[in-house]
Amino acid sequence: MVFLARPEGFELPRRSGTPFHHAYMEASMTNTQKRRLGVLTSGGDAPGLNAVIRAVVKMGNGLGYEVLGIQQGYEGLLGDTDYRVLTGADVRGLLPRGGTILRTTNKGHFSGKHVEGAKHDPYSEALENIQKLGLNGLITIGGEGTQGIALELVRMGAPIIGVPKTIDNDLPGTDRTFGFDTALQVATDAIDRLHTTAASHNRVMVLEVMGRHAGWIALHSGIAGGADVILIPEIPFDIQLVADKIMEREKYGSNFSIIVAAEGAMPKGGTAFYMAPGRLGGVGNSVTEQLAQMTGKDCRCVVLGHLQRGGTPTPADRLLATRYGAAAVTALNDGITGEMVALRAQDIITVPIESVIGHLKTVRPHNDLIRTAHGLGVSFGD
Ligand code: F6P
């Protein structure tokens, strides 16, 4: 068998090995005849979640594991538990399907940290249920919040491998999270479409895309779609410079402009825009209104929103999700725990979960993409 998580000559780091973990693994082996793996999806959905689940089931079954799909994220590990056994038949036809067949919850009861000795501690309850279910390993598919919860459980002794997911691509430790490529495809398609209508009406079109703390979607789609202005959280913008860019284009005969703004973009000296507490949104409309006044041009705003998260994953996301799912099972089967599978150049490796928590992978303001875009005349409003 080819070990997907181990490129030739590369030894995966072995980070399990706490005495508790081994004792736990042996205890759960005696609890059940069949070796069992659990898999759950947590946090916001992303295209490719089902492809990971499919790979986990196929790979897991192939290695002799029964696979339990824990439903509704970590919530399915509470109370009487909410799970179903997943077989090959359950994952048939899943590759092109968006969303998650296991459904998902955003943190739910796990919004705080584990508190030793607390009366109603969801972490202790989840750990107890992981043991009761006889899970030899649990695969947690999600972003930073999901892996943070996983880390708490790992520290308590749960055997977990994380799988990195987010359309924002802002999880550290990995070159790519699955879901990003699909979001990029949707955003770039939107820019292409906005180009033709903007040009026909001599308008300024502002496209607001997702990207809470990191501007990867805006930056990649903006360059791929030929935007004139790209606004990202990492580079606070000066609206006057954005207006100047539009007027400069007018001067040289381009009567329309395309602006891509990440939802977390903010003006210099200002803060990000929120439509409700904890819910970003509004930068697109604000920029649009200001530019209409400053340039006198007809300006329109399109907020792409959850269209970026729904629907069928691109082939690249299906492939990455499949590699991650298979590698997660292989890693657990090799006794590795407390790690997250990750893409590094052309290989799938694992990295300690604790190394990806507490910080995000943001766009470096002088990286080559920014310099390339600058060189092509794109304005970042800076
Ligand atoms: O998946 C990350 C993300 O897409 C962010 O960019 C965005 O702010 C957030 O999810 C919105 O998610 P929801 O509407 O589900 O809270």
Fold match between 19-178+313-344 and 180-309+364-375? yes
Structure tokens at 6: 């181990």
Band of pLDDT at residue 31, cut at 50, 70 and 90: very low
Is the shortest distance between the CB of 211 and ligand 1 below 6 Å?
yes
Structure tokens at 327: 């590698």
Task: Name which of 211, 121, 123, 112 is nearest 170 in CA terms.
Answer: 211
Ligand 1 center–CA 308 separation, angstroms: 10
- Buried-state track 183-203, b at ≥16 Cβ within 10 A, e below 16: bbbbbbebbeebbeebeeeeb
- Tell which CATH classification among 3.60.10.10, 3.40.50.2300, 3.40.50.300, 3.40.50.460 matches the domain 180-309+364-375: 3.40.50.460
Ligand 1 center–CA 233 separation, angstroms: 15
Ligand 1 center–CA 44 separation, angstroms: 6
Is the shortest distance between the CB of 169 and ligand 1 below 6 Å?
no
Give residue-wise pLDDT tens across range 251-283. Answer: 999 999 999 999 999 999 999 999 999 999 999
> Which residue in the block uniquely carries the two structure tokens 């329309």?
256
Band of pLDDT at residue 27, cut at 50, 70 and 90: very low
Strand pairing category for 160-164 and 257-262: unpaired
Give residue-wise pLDDT tens across range 307-338. Answer: 999 999 999 999 999 999 999 999 999 999 99
Decide: 166 and 356 in contact? Cβ < 8 Å.
no
Is the shortest distance between the CB of 167 and ligand 1 below 6 Å?
yes
Is the shortest distance between the CB of 166 and ligand 1 below 6 Å?
yes
Query: pTM higher than 0.75 for the full model?
Result: yes
Provide the residue ranges of all domains of the chain, joining segments of one domain with +: 19-178+313-344, 180-309+364-375
The CATH class, in words, for 19-178+313-344 is alpha beta
Closest protein CA for atom 13 of ligand 1:
44
Closest protein CA for atom 15 of ligand 1:
44
Catalytic residue check, 238: no
